[in-house]
Amino acid sequence: MTSTPRRTPKPKPRTLDLSPLEREKYLAGLVRRYKSGESIRHIAESIGRPYGTVHRWLSKGGAQFRPRGGSKQKPIPTTSPIPTTSSLVDTRGC
């Protein structure tokens, strides 16, 4: 039986391993992603880090956190308005 070679995992960026300037740029990039609407959970999954770590990094990067639970505002309908009952009635007679 032939074994396939194992792929070595891509090293995760550690802010401790970065120079202060590199760390500042990295955190600014995370903050920019968060400000553009990306969730902390999605950012964490995309970089392979725990939620709490990303939250702490965003806090250190100066992010203003959104309220929990998403938007409470109802979405604006993108389709035509709901037809009224008068437009559903067949006026051609029976």
pLDDT band at 85 (very low <50, low <70, confident <90, very high): low
Q: Which two tokens stand for residue 53?
A: 């770590």
Lookup result for tokens 């392979």: 48
Tens of pLDDT, residue by residue over 32-66, are 999 999 999 999 999 889 999 999 999 999 999 98
CA quadruple 28, 32, 33, 34: dihedral sign: positive
Looking at residue 22, its amino acid is E
